Structure 1
Amino acid sequence: MEPPVPLALAQAVPRLPRGTRGTWWYEPKFDGHRAALFRTAETVRLQARSGRDITSPWMDIALAGMALRAGTVLDGEAVIWREGKLDFAAVQARAASGIDRSRALAARLPASYAVWDVLAHPDYGDVRARRYTDRRQLLLDLLAEIGPPIQAVPATGDYETALVWYDALRAQGIEGIVCKRAASVYRAGRIWQKVRHAETSEAVVVGYTGAAAQPRTLAVQLADGRTVLTQRLPAALARDAAAYLTATSPGPPAATTAGDTYTTTTADLVIEVLEGTTRHQVVTATRVR
């Protein structure tokens, strides 16, 4: 399996789904930078959700990944802990850094790789067609002899435990809970569900200003039906968005609710926006979802 590989995503829902015990599995949602890890015969490569190679800023994770067996492909989140709490600002700084700066940042705040799935196994090849619970066991077996900074995320098939996690882990920077059907295969698209603490919300991207390869702002449709422009995008977020915008042809111009002109897009792109800004005509984008 070679990068880039389309990754599975989660759809936001208002509450945890519940079935008979073991029907659903629940994992804490870590606040970091999505990354698939490819252990080849010679090296390790990391891929962002957009498909972009992000090995350079996360070289400490790549080096740790050399302990994995060749032929392993994992899906997870690059995270940074500071004083016992996840630090997303540190993640953003690392993701936007060049080689020299990322090396200096890693020396001060090393990254960890929180793994939740295995896409390819050195003994069985592509395992995406296997059910979640089977892949989970393969993941635990693969990581049994691998210590920090590469670790499997906790998971439970118990609804009540997931509720406790949702409340108790928030103080550590855990965003919420990701919910996965026990029998589900791994495929691209929003196949999982997630329940998040309500500090942010999600918005569908319908267009952009500037060039697709270097968007200045994004036009997003909010839950109340309004279309607004985000504030100017930081460099790292602009690069992530550009990977999606350049994959489709630009559409005709359109206007926001306030009358601002933008170029439309059919890209399958959802971003996170700060909850407190959506009542205004301009919103703050924080990351690609």
Structure 2
Amino acid sequence: METSRITSQPATSSPEFPLSLDTPPMEARTADALPEGPWQYEPKWDGFRCLAFKGRDAVELRAKSGKPLGRYFPELTTMLRDLAARQFVVDGEIVIEIDGRVSFDALQMRLHPAESRIRKLSAETPARLILFDALAAPGGEMLLDLPLPDRRRAIEDFVARAENAGLKLSPATTSLATARRWLRGAGRGATDGVVAKALAEPYRPGERTMIKVKRLRTADCVVGGFRYLSGKRQIGSLLLGLYNDRGQLDHVGFTSTIASDERAALTKRLEA
């Protein structure tokens, strides 16, 4: 989801954590092609973006929206609490693997109101935290103003010292050819594109200074239904489907890119 622009200056840190829990992650703007030049490229994981905060004892997981994620992934909270390292903030993606493949559906199943259900799923399909940046090193040293290569060395050292199966280091490369190969292979499970980060840039919380490129595929779909705009009797999105080998219509996605001056006529047509 798109959000309004957030200032890049994090709030004052609390005595418990090196940075305020309101600190937003650095974000990316969409582009059609990968940039050339002094960039680092990383896979764009198909999971839940997460900033992980650890103080002297407490652990907090925060989504890109700022909402707490810890209750949905108790195994990650426990894992981070058990690490010897203290007073750090790291940036990554929460993923769950089913039969060796990353499953976004398994992630969504965790967003359940019943704690007993979450505990059961956390034991059956434990999540992992794939890390790709560091905002504060263990001990509370601030890394926000450092260029990317320095922060990359910090996160590599953090994962290596942790020696925990629940943590994984995201691959990175400065080779455009390698990044393009990753992009060609995206969209088939674990990743859905490639993210580019300028090597000389600091970490800018809340700003869209990174570039993301997704692997796009096209298809001629059947409009199987629609949803109204919230609080209005006009179409907000179209529900799309494709027929499978048995002749059944499977839901494959939706589109909300409907021009405002076309909504009234399209609503009348589809309601009929």
What TM-score range do you get, normalising by the shorter chain?
0.7 to 0.9
**Is 2:182 the counterpart of 1:165?**
yes
Q: Is 1:152 matched with 2:179?
A: no
Q: For residues 211-230 of structure 1, what are the structure 2 equivalents within 5 Å?
A: 229-230=236-237
Tell me the TM-score normalised to structure 1 length: 0.68
Q: Deviations over 1:6-44 (max 9, x none)?
A: 21111110011111xxx1100001111111101111121
Once superposed, what is the RMSD of the aligned Cα atoms? 2.7
Between 1 and 2, higher relative CO (CA 8 Å, sep ≥ 6) is seen in: 2
Q: Show the counterpart of 2:156.
A: 140
1:54 maps to 2:72:
no
Q: Give the C-alpha shift of residue 97 in structure 1.
A: 4.3
Q: Quick check: 1:85–1:171 contact (8 Å CA) kept in 2?
A: no
Post-superposition Cα deviations, 1:98-156, rounded to whole Å, max 9, x if no partner, equal 42211111122110101111111124622111111110001111111222211121100
- CA spacing shift, 1:14–1:162, aligned 2, 3 Å: same
Other-structure match for 1:18: 36
Change (3 A) 1:18 1:164: same
The number of equivalent residue pairs is: 217
Quick one: distance in 1 between partners of 2:125 and 2:92?
A: 19
Q: TM-score, normalised by structure 2?
A: 0.72
Partner of residue 85 from structure 1, selected from 81, 97, 101:
101
Q: 1:33 aligned to 2:48?
A: yes
Between the aligned partners of 2:199 and 2:125, the Cα distance in structure 1 is 35
- The SS at the match of 1:180 is strand
d(CA) in 2 for partners of 1:62, 1:53: 11
Inter-partner Cα distance in structure 2 for 1:6 and 1:179: 19
**Match for residue 209 of structure 1 among 230, 251, 257:** 230
With over 3 angstroms needed to count, the CA separation of the structure-2 counterparts of 1:169 and 1:3, relative to structure 1, is same
Contact map agreement 2:88 2:140 (CA 8 A) in 1: no
1:150–1:169 CA distance, 2 compared to 1 (3 A):
same
SS in 2 for 1:143: helix
Matched, 1:183 2:183: no
Measured in 2, the distance between the counterparts of 1:42 and 1:192 equals 32
Extract unaligned runs of 5+ from structure 1.
201-207, 211-216, 218-226, 233-272, 282-289
Matched position secondary structure for 2:174: coil
Helix, strand or coil at the partner of 1:5: coil
Secondary structure in structure 1 of the residue aligned to 2:41: strand
Higher Cα Rg, which structure: 2
1:171 Cα deviation (Å)? 3.2
Contact 1:65–1:150 (8 Å) recurs in 2: no
Alignment of 1:239-278 (within 5 A): 274=253, 278=257
Contact 2:237 2:257 in 1 (8 A): no
Equivalent position of 1:263 in the other structure: none
Q: Residues 110-125 of structure 1: matches in 2 within 5 Å?
A: 110-123=126-139, 125=141
CA shift in 2, pair 1:133/1:274, >3 Å: farther
| Unaligned residue ranges in structure 2 (runs of 5+) | 1-18, 219-228, 240-251, 264-272
In structure 1, give the amino acid aligned to 2:49: R
Question: Percent identity at matched positions?
Answer: 30
Q: Distance in 1 between matches of 2:84 and 2:169?
A: 13
